[in-house]
Structure 1
Amino acid sequence: MDASIPQDANRIDSVLEKIERSRQARRHKFYLRDEKITLSHGSGGKATHNLIEGVFAPAFSNPLLDAMDDAATFEINGTGQRLAFTTDTYVVSPLFFPGGDIGKLAIHGTVNDLAMAGAEPLYLSSGFILEEGFPITDLRRIVASMAAAAAEAGVAIVTGDTKVVQRGKADGLFINTAGVGIIRANWLLGQAQLQPGDKVLLSGPVGDHGIAIMMAREGLDIETDVQSDTAPLHSLVAALFAVAGSGVHCLKDPTRGGVATALNEMALGSEVSVALEERAIPVRPGVRGACEILGLDPLTIANEGKLLA
């Protein structure tokens, strides 16, 4: 090794070479078209998938990450006790919307990612990026909402961080939450566990959250009482386990990108195809009407309180 080259620089070059090799090997499946990030990379669809596979997955590759489930699951040093760990970042406009707010969403989203791993949520972290000039009264409301949502879910926020950026450098407030939960079930869950012949279960009507956000953000004058469905799902998961047990092979909450993206991810992770009966998928009249007016497919609209099994 050339002593004049810092060791860290060599490590970085090695990772960049690894990313390029992976990109070349995968380019028939995952094509990262853009040289710059676009909004579509955050949509949860194909562009997001290509970004993950083209940049993050090869750089950070390890068996836990490669499973590409909602949470990493692992055993603690041969004790037999398994934990789940997950993180998510929340950027939503408006910050307050029918049925919830960004704080409530940040708690429910991470609790639900743990629940999708079959875990009982225990502890969360919270990180805040605040824009200069953000109203303290709004911050208090959001923090109070987070505290109430955490109490409802039976989790504790045990650590956190706060950063403030210059005016105009953030859209008011961004929140990151990470969570840890304990897995009590003794069977494996995950996309790779899906098998031919499995049935797909959906816990309720789709598209409520995404339509509620869109109508609030754009000020759409459509007569509807649609509200976000944001809710913790761990109790529903526990009830499902009590009935179906090891017959449950995979759990997924169809958030960003909706049911369509969630099922595509499940199919990719297991190399099985999924066939749906569209008429069997419940959609509230208000959501269906808004989607027809806006030219949207309810199956691609985000949910925050539904699960697929």
Structure 2
Amino acid sequence: MDNTVTLAHGAGGKQTSQLIDSVFKAHFANPDFTADDAAVLQVDSGRLAFTTDGFIVSPYEFPGGNIGKLSICGTVNDLSCMGAKPLYLACSFVIEEGFPLDKLEEIAAAMEKTAKEAGVRIVAGDTKVAGKGQVDHIFITTTGIGRLMDCAHTSGKYAKPGDAVIVTGDIGRHGCAILLARNEFGIDADVTSDCAPLWGTVKKMFDTTDQIHVVRDATRGGVGTVLYEIADQSHVGIQLDAQKIPVAGEVSGVCGMLGLEPLYLACEGRLVVFVPKEQAQAVVDTLHQCPYSKNAAVIGEVTADMPGKVVMKTEIGLQTLLPQPGGELLPRIC
């Protein structure tokens, strides 16, 4: 087989079968993986969560991961935020003609490893090859099904005055890592993406308390955008304490040089969680025991004042309205 992807690999003939067998089947094989038109799955009774997401990150490799790892984490985390154990994934690839097969193998291997960690099976998919220049290297779409825990009832509509606002780790890493990986600013900083599968983290939180009102992953637009979305959905105000928001020194340094706000940089391994104040410390203590949330912190609270707005208490004790997100800060981060 050639060492790059050709249009013949997407034509549905012999080369397509070879590509699927040598790369995708080799990494994704499991008892539910199918060569038929659809996988037939066994699902217990109860509530299901169902989601889909597209990934067109540029560059497709970055410190801390690649588009393959990202595609599994993104969909696993969307299911997890609903309190759903991820069960099955389907994945669709659109690959540019000439894409190196060894890089495709690395992407598939990252997907295999991340799916195994998350406890989810890749059971079906599709592969298309686009002509040179029609696609920027590789695009992946993943669709996931998960089974909700009986105790899980989360939504952006359920935030209540008196809730504590928790972030599960330092913010802005993924967006900063992607920005630096593009080598557009000549900044030398050691920033690694926070990209990680978070079902285990969510399960531990629900084992601690079932009084969890909101869980959201802060991807495009970062924590600030998520908070505005929740404030709007629940018709509440949110008050943040700037001094309590965890930001890694290297991320803070890059943001300072470029005039960026870490609250609006993407995360791919961080959650925003709303729980009653009396449950907050127990949840944070649990998060500190999980591998991807060791510097989780309470960063604010929900109020009945100024519904739909997010207010920041600054380092010098003043209060300021956090500007609403708008425009395009960092395209192609997920």
Name the Cα RMSD after superposition: 1.2
Aligned residue among 297, 303, 306 for 2:261: 297
Secondary structure, counterpart of 2:124 in structure 1: strand
Distance in 1 between residues matched to 2:138 and 2:127, nearest whole Å: 11
Shift of 1:224: 2.2
Q: SS at 2:238's partner residue?
A: coil
Out of 114, 126, 138, the position equivalent to 1:173 is: 138
How far off its partner does 1:242 sit?
1.2
Name the one with the larger strand percent: 2
Q: Does 1:148 align with 2:148?
A: no
Unaligned runs of 5+ in 2: 1-43, 274-334
Count, aligned residues: 230
User: Which moves more between the two structures, 218-227 or 286-295?
Assistant: 218-227
CA distance in 1, matches of 2:123, 2:106: 19
Q: Which runs of 5+ in 1 are unaligned?
A: 1-78
Correspondence 1:202 to 2:172? no
Match of 2:315 in 1: none
Whole-Å separation in 2 of the counterparts to 1:232 and 1:190: 20
Q: Does 1:122 align with 2:87?
A: yes
Secondary structure of 2:163 counterpart: coil
In the TM superposition, what is the alpha-carbon distance from 1:220 to its structure 2 partner?
A: 3.9
SS for the counterpart of 2:240 is coil
Q: CA deviation at 1:202?
A: 0.6
Aligned with 1:308: secondary structure? strand
- Specify the SS of the correspondent of 1:137: helix
Could you say which residue in structure 2 is the equivalent of 1:191? 156
Q: 1:200 to 1:100 in 2, by over 3 A?
A: same
1:65-144 alignment to 2 at 5 Å?
Answer: 81-144=46-109
One-letter code aligned to 1:250: V
> Taking structure 1 as reference, are residues 163 and 267 closer, same or farther at Cα in structure 2, changes over 3 Å only?
same
Matching of residue 283 in structure 1 with residue 247 in structure 2: yes
Amino acid at match of 1:273: G
User: Once the two structures are superposed, what CA deviation does each residue of 1:224-246 show, in whole Å capped at 9, x if it has no partner?
Assistant: 2210000011111111111122x
Distance 1:259 1:253 in 2: 8
- Identical aligned residues as a percent: 48
CA deviation digits over 1:58-105, x for unaligned, max 9? Answer: xxxxxxxxxxxxxxxxxxxxx961010111000111111100000000
Q: Distance in 1 between matches of 2:96 and 2:154?
A: 39
Corresponding residue of 1:41: none
Deviation at 1:218, TM superposition (A): 2.6
In structure 1, what is the equivalent of residue 328 of structure 2? none
Structure whose residues are more often helix by fraction = 1
In structure 2, what residue type is equivalent to 1:243? Answer: T
Q: How far is 1:164 from its partner?
A: 1.1
Alignment CA distance shift 1:183-1:288 (3 Å): same
- Measure how far apart 1:135 and its partner are: 1.1
Distance 1:281 1:164, change over 3 A: same
Which residue identity is paired with 2:214?
A: C
Distance in 1 separating the partners of 2:206 and 2:231? 22
Match of 1:265 among 229, 248, 253: 229
CA shift at 1:275, angstroms?
1.0
TM-score (norm 2): 0.67
Q: Measure the CA separation in 2 of the matches of 1:228 and 1:221.
A: 18
Pairwise CA distance, 1:197:
1.3
Misfit runs of 4+, over 6 Å: none
CA distance in 1, matches of 2:112, 2:56: 19
Kept in 1, the 8 Å contact 2:95–2:130? The answer is: yes
- 1:221, CA displacement in angstroms? 3.3
